[in-house]
Structure 1
Amino acid sequence: MSEYSGKNAVITGGSSGIGFATAELLVDAGARVVITGRSRATLDAAAERLGENALAVRSDVASLPDLDAVAARVRDGLGTVDALFVNAGITSATPFASTTEETFDESFAINVKGAFFTVQKLAPLLSTGAGVVLTTSAANVMGMLETSVYAAGKAALRSMARSLSRELLPRRIRVNAISPGPVDTGILENTMTKEAADQFKAERVAENPMGRFGTPEEVARAMAFLAFDATYTTGTELAVDGGITQL
């Protein structure tokens, strides 16, 4: 029997990067998975790669009607959920002095509001003993340049992992956070110029104790551990960052 045979999972932001790597790991090990994302084309391509045990639902986590629709599709398609990976988010690198209200609002709407209501809308479908994993970031403890809005949102998710752990503990549902450090997901190239992305990567590699970027697959294995195997762990944040926040 495959490791996750008979298990059901939902992954927001599951069409690329860490989310897709987690979906692929779980599907390959026998789970049924619902992935969400904002791009229909990217979702369709991901679903084709994942195969028949994956269902792709287009959704913007900042939209509560979209989250209601996701919950309905998950209820109809899976019934109950054993693992919820709250992974959808955006990265923004903006200088403090030039950060606009629009940039601030978009970041918090997706990274914080979206995460909170994802858990709220899907909580009724979580099975007894289910695991919820929120994706934070090493940036929430490092005080990095040009990340004040992004880092503040990820710090809010760290706090949320603790609070929601208390809220859901009576149902034996565990809530934890995964804190990736520098991981090569391709997102930098989508949010920066190539020159800026190359410079940012070089700086991160130079300061990292392990001297490299992590891979989405390495983070996916840690996410699966928190969701399924860490049965006596709740409210914690697991750093998967090459040691940058620890050494």
Structure 2
Amino acid sequence: MGRLQGKVALVTGGGAGIDLASAQAFAREGARVAICGRNLETLKAAANLILGGAVTIQTDVSRLEDLDRVFAQIQVQFGGLDILFCNAGWSQFKPFLSHPESRPALTARGFSFDQWLRRGRQRVAKHQHHSGHQSSDTKPGCTLSAELLDRGIRVNTISPSPIDTEFFGRHADDDGAAKKSLHLNINPSKRLGTAEEVAELALFLASDDSVWVVGADYGIDGGAGNL
């Protein structure tokens, strides 16, 4: 029996790269999987690559009303959610309060999924691009993991260095080839990580193998974080 047998998993941005690799890993271990993102055709193509298929939901995760619709659909189709892997987005190095939706939206977004998660069975992993680690302070009000732990929800984060996916060069101001070359030169392992390597870490955090892991941030970066 797989490590996620009988679980329901949602992967945001689940159409390619780390998203798709993680959805595939979850399904391989027995989970029923839903993926969501902006491009429906990309999601449908990805679903065909996931064992047993996947529910595809077109959505913009930056919109709170879209998130409510996603969780409501999962509730109808699966009866609840056990695993949430928040993986959509990319890093922008700006002051937190400079974002117009900063605190109110992020707070609401962080707690909006709570009503849909099945009590005592859930585990949540969040992928964050490598731009600093989660605070080690575990007092309520300091981290999401502390706020939600008494509800049976574990929150952990994954902080990868650049991963070799099609994400490189996707944006107009992003020279993918130059960025790859830079990171190859400065990374002690002299290579980029793979989506599958990050997916295996996400699988560990989503499973009961990590039941004693709470509020941790995992750097998966080939040693780059030690520089």
Cα deviation, residue 137, structure 1: 2.3
Query: Do structure 1's residue 125 and structure 2's residue 125 form an aligned pair?
Result: no
Q: What amino acid sits opposite 2:10 in the alignment?
A: V
Cα deviation, residue 105, structure 1: 4.1
Counterpart CA distance in 1 for 2:141 and 2:25 is 23
Partner of 1:84: 84
Sort the Cα spacing of 1:35 and 1:25 in 2 relative to 1 into closer, same or farther, 3 A.
same
Residue number among 183, 187, 192 corresponding to 2:163 in the alignment: 183
TM-score (ref. length: structure 2):
0.86
Counterpart CA distance in 2 for 1:113 and 1:17 is 30
Counterpart CA distance in 1 for 2:145 and 2:132 is 19
Higher helix share: 1
Counterpart CA distance in 1 for 2:107 and 2:48 is 29
Partner of 1:205: 184
Counterpart CA distance in 2 for 1:117 and 1:58 is 20
Cα deviation, residue 211, structure 1: 0.7
Matched-pair contact (CA < 8 Å) for 1:161–1:177: no
Q: What amino acid sits opposite 1:15 in the alignment?
A: G
Unaligned runs of 5+ in 1: 97-103, 142-154
Equivalent residues in 2 for 1:1-247, closer than 5 Å? 1-50=1-50, 52-91=52-91, 105=99, 116-127=107-118, 128-140=120-132, 163-192=143-172, 196-228=175-207, 229-247=209-227
Matched-pair contact (CA < 8 Å) for 1:129–1:171: no
Cα deviation, residue 230, structure 1: 1.1
Aligned residues: 222
Counterpart CA distance in 2 for 1:161 and 1:9 is 27
- Please state whether the residue corresponding to 1:50 is helix, strand or coil: coil
Query: What's the RMSD between the two structures over aligned residues?
Result: 2.9
Cα deviation, residue 90, structure 1: 2.8
Counterpart CA distance in 2 for 1:59 and 1:197 is 26
Q: What amino acid sits opposite 2:112 in the alignment?
A: K
Sort the Cα spacing of 1:51 and 1:118 in 2 relative to 1 into closer, same or farther, 3 A.
farther
Q: What amino acid sits opposite 1:25 in the alignment?
A: A
Counterpart CA distance in 2 for 1:52 and 1:12 is 18
